[in-house]
Amino acid sequence: MITLLVFLPLLAAAIAGLGNRAIGNVPAKLVTTACLFASCALAWPIFVGFLTGDSEAHVIKVLSFITSGDLQVDWALRVDALTAVMLVVITSVSALVHLYSWGYMAEDPSQPRFFSYLSLFTFAMLMLVTSDNLIQMFFGWEGVGLASYLLIGFWYEKPSAQAAAIKAFVVNRVGDFGFSLGIFGTFLVFHTVSIPAILAAAPGMAGSTIGFLGGRVDTMTLLCLLLFIGAMGKSAQLGLHTWLPDAMEGPTPVSALIHAATMVTAGVFMVCRLSPMFQVSPTALTVVTYVGAATCLFAATVGTVQTDIKRVIAYSTCSQLGYMFFAAGVGAYGAAMFHLFTHAFFKALLFLGAGSVIHAMHHEQDMRFYGGLRKSIPLTFWAMMAGTLAITGVGIEDLFGFAGFYSKDAIIEAAYARGTTAGGIAFAVGVTAALLTSFYSWRLIFLTFFGKPRWAGSEHIQHAVHDAHGHGHDDHAHDHHDVAAEGAGSEPSHDAHGVDEVKHGTLGYHPHESPLTMLIPLIVLTIGAIFAGFIFATPFIGAGGSAFWHHSLAFDHEFMEAVEHVPMWVKLSASIVMITGFVIALWAYILDTSVPRRFVATFNGLYQFLLHKWYFDELYDLIFVRPAFALGRFLRKRGDQGTIDRFGPNGMAALVQMGSVASRKLQSGYVYTYALVMLLGLVAAATWAMAI
Amino acid sequence: MNQLGFPILTLTLLVPMLGAIACLFADAKAARWVALIATLVNFAIGIVLWAGYQIGGPQWQFQEHIGLFGSFGWSLGIDGIALMLIELSVFLMPICILASWQAIEKRVPEYMAAFLFMETLMLGVFEAQDLFLFYIFFEAGLIPMYLIIGIWGGAERIYASYKFFLYTLLGSIVMLIAMLWMANYAHSTSIPVLMATNFPVHVQTLLFLAFFCSFAVKMPMWPVHTWLPDAHVQAPTAGSVILAGVLLKMGGYGFIRFSLPMFPQASAQLFWLIALLSSVAIVYTSLVALVQQDMKKLIAYSSVAHMAFVTFGLFAFNRQGLEGSLLVMLSHGLVSGALFLCVGVVYDRLHTREIARYGGVANNMPRYAVFFLLFTMASVGLPGTSGFVGEFLSMMGIYGASTWAAFFATTGIILGAAYMLYLFRRVAQGPLDKPDVAAMSDLSPRELLLLAPIAAVVMWMGVYPESFMAPMRKDVGYVLSRVNPAWPGGDSRLAKGAAKPAAEPVSGEGAR
């Protein structure tokens, strides 16, 4: 059953991809979507089986892969509670995104290719989460990277999309650099890459040291940190996060599936999967906590000033991933996985909702040109509201809350309950970021759905109104539109908050609610965003945790008990900052819309710093990209041509030429004469060698 | 005689040889067909060879021996390593002939004869069991390649062909002297005997360096790599394919057949040299590849970087490293060959290799783009393609030998992704705004026939490499048994903490 579940998407991808134009749009879409729904239907019973305790963890071997001495690697599918959680997340979101794309990509000329990539991604992701060894995990890891590369660059005619695709792949490769070294080191230490065997042996390695790059370091700390570098790359943690916002160049369904719900959470999954290993190294866990907290805060601050609707959500994703990591760092793996689970629903919902808005607004992505949309697209509005209530964590203790209320608050409380310095800092950061989360989420809602329409300033809308007399709804996804594609980030002259300066009015444009194929996924995910936390809190983080996870991750029952008994002010803090953030957003974007402009005028330095995303891209360009190219050019000119060839073959040739000038009278200058001399020399040398 | 009852190895040499002679007496059209049939027949013989090879059987199989004079004789025989390289050669040859079907218009019979003659010599290198027979094949292989570049090459073919010839010949002269000394010392020219001979430690270093001169150039290792970009750029497409596919493998084959088993102490002592040169090669050539404007040069530099993975793995002194580097050799033979074919496809249409002249070909050549992307990804080492298994194993091996070396080797996966994707972006992606590029047609059936088989094998090797690793396993074990006693162990020794009892055996020698 699991074999079918995993390989159906591959089959679908192959049919749609190889068939492509030969089989046409509808068959390609039909086969991929049908296969995904079938996989989804297979995944839920597995998950429910673990919830009720009927299922046992098991491994199914498919084929042997690499056998090299101690290294025995199989293609195998592992199913346990942790995998089951990922299976339902992946197949559910993927199936819904497939369906959603029927509507969203309806006008695209290369739909079979798109659906093929989507299914291929799903397959790779399933291989990742079902892997029983580190190498198959790496296969899935790189496979999702490939699919992400292909989908970000799906509109490959746009230079910005190509650049974003390459950036995503290469930055992920930097993470994989660490991941690879981690795998090598793990194999060296444990003589196996089988995950269960490693986890069983890991505690025995506590206190041991190993040589690395000339020094001696703690074995488990080294291995965990190397592997964690891989997780940082895939999950866009601070330092290796720069690819994620740019990845928004891809079509919006892709952002929902890959860059929100599934692929970017692979790093969290990996840390949880290997949690018994991380538990051996407190140092590594501290690092994980700090990196998670730093990312959480960084991304939340940047998210507050972005004007591109997708980028706001992208930074929000980055920030939420930070939460998951510091949850893992403080040892609350169950809470990390729970937030991963709920986040998948509400973040996919927010992205697909944003896609619906973009669809309605004729591919305009800049929130400065939105406004007042709640009446035109009410269903999308309510879906986005549900998503926002879920991400900000609205709820009342012991009664009911939206998804994020259970998972995010559990993380914040766990950080406090850990009682370490790192935990304390993570707690403070978590609360601060919750304030920012609430602010930017409501800012998005207010700018998009409330206030007066500001559509007149949008080139996309102008285009649409203009075209309405001609051939109607044209496909503008291919248009390279600077404002939409790059946001205000690269155009400081635009005042992101100067909404009043933007022309008001509708230009007579009428946004339409999206087709049913897009609305059904929104509705399903809305249900998930509302109820996922309430229903699943007990097995994931509550009393049922030990029974549910059943050693598939390091679930510390006593610690999770302690988390439930943190002081009241800790429990309330998340809700208080959530309300504060809402009030600030309400004040600044509804009640007194001049506030943002005044803020920017007063704190321009801070504003520019945030708008330029803490100048990471500029910094990396300066210290990595440019020097690499400059060094390459230098080596080509001065190294190969200037030194090796000059003193090597060309120098030799020049010497020979000088020699031949001197001995021209003796030699003809033909190559065969030289060859003869060479041969004579050889014979002499041979005779000499024979003689001794 | 051998398990098949007839001299099959001699047959593999004879078929292309007779084909070459027949070509010389045929006209252009007939020569093409003769060459194609001869290479296909040889491919079929190669399949028989693989099928007849007993995995886990005797170390040397299909042996033949005819004494000629002195101890020198016509003695052939193969082990699993040679078998796989023979398969690679006979697989690529018909593809090369087909790739030259239309691209070569002048002196077709001579061209085909040169190619067939080269096949004989290449196979001879892998099949020879006599030291001097090996040397003859090894060096004579230069001649047809020299002719192919020099006669059918591009504008600067003369410079390139001389550079190629002199570079590779100079290295081998010292090797010949070393061979003579060895034959004298061991009183035998038989390679199996020499592999089991323990040469005096103080001489080993000199002998190793003598062989190293030749193999490092063939490999090519930094800094003696500069002949390769020029040779590739000037060679016709099929010449590049065979150069990258098979001729570059002779250096690696030489290391594993001679240097490691015959001079184990010297190999261990000079590990630092290999690791240093390979580290430099990976970073240096990757950066140079990043700024190349010429497609063939870019792939040539990427070859140098990939060959550094081979040398790393060979000198890792453990099983993962050795098996990994053998797989890199096979995979690189396929992938870089295929990439040169991909360049050839667009070169045949636009007659330029300048990257900037292309752009957006994914629009009008979607099939081509798919193959190009697949081979790009295989070159980058994406799991699921042949590139991954070899690179990963050889890096894993080198980690056991030196973490510093592994650190530099692994940077290759970042830089490799950067330059290959940058190439793909500039050629296949972007707007289709150049009229002559837009006029290019997608793959013809003939071109499809060239690329599809390679693509299939690349995927096969990526998903189930066991087919290719099984025949070589025992022979790798033999090499290991020769070198391991000499190797002191890597720098990543594990020291158990005092806190916990040691459940597992302490490993001081790294991964085995």
Cβ-Cβ contacts under 8 Å, B415 against chain A: 628
* Conformation bin of residue B327: beta by default, left when phi > 0, alpha when psi is -120 to 50: alpha
Q: Which residue of A has its CA nearest to B406?
A: A181
Contact B500 A65 (CB under 8 A): no
Spatial distance between the Cα atoms of A99 and A345, rounded to a whole number of angstroms? 15
Sign of CA dihedral A459, A461, A462, A463: positive
Closest CA to A589 of A418, A448, A428: A448
Burial group, residue A623, by CB count within 10 angstroms (0-12, 13-18, 19+) = exposed
Is residue B84 within 8 Å of residue B330, measured between CB atoms? yes
Amino acid sitting at position B375: F
Spatial distance between the Cα atoms of B93 and B35, rounded to a whole number of angstroms? 9
């194993």: which residue's tokens?
A: B393
Please give the structure tokens belonging to residue B282: 């990976």
DSSP A117-167: HHHHHHHHHHHHHT-SBHHHHHHHHHHHHHHHHHHHTSSTTSHHHHHHHHH
Residue B511's pLDDT is what?
Answer: 38
Residue A468's pLDDT is what?
Answer: 61
pLDDT in tens, A2-25: 889 999 999 999 999 888 778 888
Mean pLDDT score, A540-548: 82
- % helix / strand / coil in chain A, to the nearest 5? 75, 5, 20
Closest CA to B249 of B205, B203, B314: B314
Amino acid sitting at position A325: F
Rounded to 5°, the CA angle A454-A388-A331 comes to 140
Closest CA to B334 of B232, B242, B421, B447: B242
Does residue A57 sit in helix, strand or coil?
coil
Burial group, residue A193, by CB count within 10 angstroms (0-12, 13-18, 19+) = buried
Q: Which residues pair with A401 in a beta bridge?
A: A395
Residue A478's pLDDT is what?
Answer: 42
Amino acid sitting at position B494: L
Of A334-348, A517-531, A658-672, B67-81, minimum mean pLDDT range: A658-672
Greatest alpha-carbon pair distance for chain A in Å reads: 107
Q: How far is B30 from chain A (nearest CA, A)?
A: 33
Cβ-Cβ contacts under 8 Å, B363 against chain A: 157
Spatial distance between the Cα atoms of A549 and A47, rounded to a whole number of angstroms? 11
Q: How far is B472 from chain A (nearest CA, A)?
A: 11
Contact B507 A191 (CB under 8 A): yes
Q: Which residues pair with B69 in a beta bridge?
A: B72
Cβ-Cβ contacts under 8 Å, A649 against chain B: 163, 166-167, 226-227
B422, B499, B511 ranked by CB distance to A166: nearest: B422
Residue A485's pLDDT is what?
Answer: 35
Rounded to 5°, the CA angle B134-B139-B143 comes to 135
Residue B130 is classified by DSSP as B
Sign of CA dihedral A119, A123, A124, A125: positive
Does residue A451 sit in helix, strand or coil?
coil
pLDDT band at A664 (very low <50, low <70, confident <90, very high): low
Residue A560's pLDDT is what?
Answer: 84
pLDDT band at A630 (very low <50, low <70, confident <90, very high): confident
Is residue B34 within 8 Å of residue B19, measured between CB atoms? yes
Non-local CB neighbours of A361 within 8 Å, separated by 6+ positions: A369, A370, A373, A455, A458, A460, A461, A511
Residue A666's pLDDT is what?
Answer: 56
Non-local CB neighbours of B153 within 8 Å, separated by 6+ positions: B160, B161, B234, B235, B236, B239
Buried b vs exposed e over A309-339: b needs ≥16 C-beta within 10 Å? bbbbbbbbbbbbbbbbbbbbbbbbbbbbbbb
Amino acid sitting at position A516: L
pLDDT band at A207 (very low <50, low <70, confident <90, very high): confident
Spatial distance between the Cα atoms of B100 and B116, rounded to a whole number of angstroms? 13
Spatial distance between the Cα atoms of B68 and B91, rounded to a whole number of angstroms? 32
Q: How far is B476 from chain A (nearest CA, A)?
A: 10
Alpha carbon B266 to its chain centroid, in Å, reads: 24
Closest CA to A338 of A145, A123, A560, A136: A560
Residue A503 is classified by DSSP as P
Is residue B145 within 8 Å of residue B164, measured between CB atoms? yes
Residue A503's pLDDT is what?
Answer: 61
What is the CB neighbour count within 10 angstroms for residue A134? 26
Q: How far is B458 from chain A (nearest CA, A)?
A: 15
Task: State whether residue B510 sits within 8 Å of chain A by CB.
Answer: yes
Closest CA to A517 of A98, A190, A143: A98
Q: Which residue of A has its CA nearest to B166?
A: A649
Q: Select the residue from A626, A636, A657 to test the B interface by mutation, using most B Cβ atoms within 10 A.
A: A636
Cβ-Cβ contacts under 8 Å, A174 against chain B: 414
pLDDT band at A669 (very low <50, low <70, confident <90, very high): low
A66, A177, A203 ranked by CB distance to B389: nearest: A66
Q: Select the residue from B226, B309, B370, B434 to test the A interface by mutation, using most A Cβ atoms within 10 A.
A: B226
Mean pLDDT score, A77-103: 92
Angle of the A159-190 helix axis to the B403-428 helix axis, nearest 10: 160
The residues spanned by each domain of chain A are 281-549+567-611, 660-692
Residues of chain B falling short of pLDDT 50: 499-512
Contact A71 B291 (CB under 8 A): no
pLDDT band at A37 (very low <50, low <70, confident <90, very high): very high
Mean pLDDT score, A276-291: 92
Does residue A248 sit in helix, strand or coil?
helix
Non-local CB neighbours of B109 within 8 Å, separated by 6+ positions: B23, B24, B25, B26, B27, B28, B31
Amino acid sitting at position A472: G
pLDDT in tens, A130-169: 999 999 999 999 999 999 999 998 988 888 888 899 999 9
Closest CA to A68 of B488, B316, B456, B482: B316
């990543």: which residue's tokens?
A: B492
* Strands in B308-425 per DSSP E: none
Spatial distance between the Cα atoms of B27 and A527, rounded to a whole number of angstroms? 76
Residue A501 is classified by DSSP as G
Spatial distance between the Cα atoms of A495 and B402, rounded to a whole number of angstroms? 54
Is residue B490 within 8 Å of residue B510, measured between CB atoms? yes
Spatial distance between the Cα atoms of A228 and A223, rounded to a whole number of angstroms? 8
Residue A432's pLDDT is what?
Answer: 93
What rounded mean pLDDT belongs to chain B?
87
Closest CA to B115 of B20, B33, B44: B20
Non-local CB neighbours of B351 within 8 Å, separated by 6+ positions: none
- % helix / strand / coil in chain B, to the nearest 5? 75, 5, 20
Bridging pattern class, strands A209-212 and A215-218: antiparallel
What rounded mean pLDDT belongs to chain A?
85
Residue A268's pLDDT is what?
Answer: 93
Contact B494 A169 (CB under 8 A): no
Cβ-Cβ contacts under 8 Å, A189 against chain B: 494
